[in-house]
Amino acid sequence: MRYSSGVRTGLAVVGGLILLAGAVFAGQGLGKIPGSFMSGDIRWFWIGSAMVVVGFALGVVGLLRPARKA
């Protein structure tokens, strides 16, 4: 499936935001970022890791898929 330029940009931005949020969740789950109820809870590491993978995949689709010709 080919996406238009605007959709590709949107996918890349959303993917980047999900990736960053997932990295924060993973860091909190490992206890590297203190100050939250998520700190030190390994469950948040796994949730964050899944978010990083999904965000990366969305970003790759958004950046590497060719644009649809009008």
Q: What is the pLDDT of residues 45-64, one digit of tens each?
A: 999 999 999 999 999 988 88
- Dist CA 20 CA 14 (whole Å): 10
User: Residues 28, 69: contact at Cβ < 8 Å?
Assistant: no
Distances (CA, A) of 41 to 9, 18, 34, 37, 50: 34, 20, 11, 8, 15
Q: Answer whether 0.75 is exceeded by the pTM.
A: yes
User: Residues 47, 4: contact at Cβ < 8 Å?
Assistant: no
pLDDT, tens only, 8-56:
889 999 999 999 999 999 999 999 998 888 898 999 999 999 999 999 9
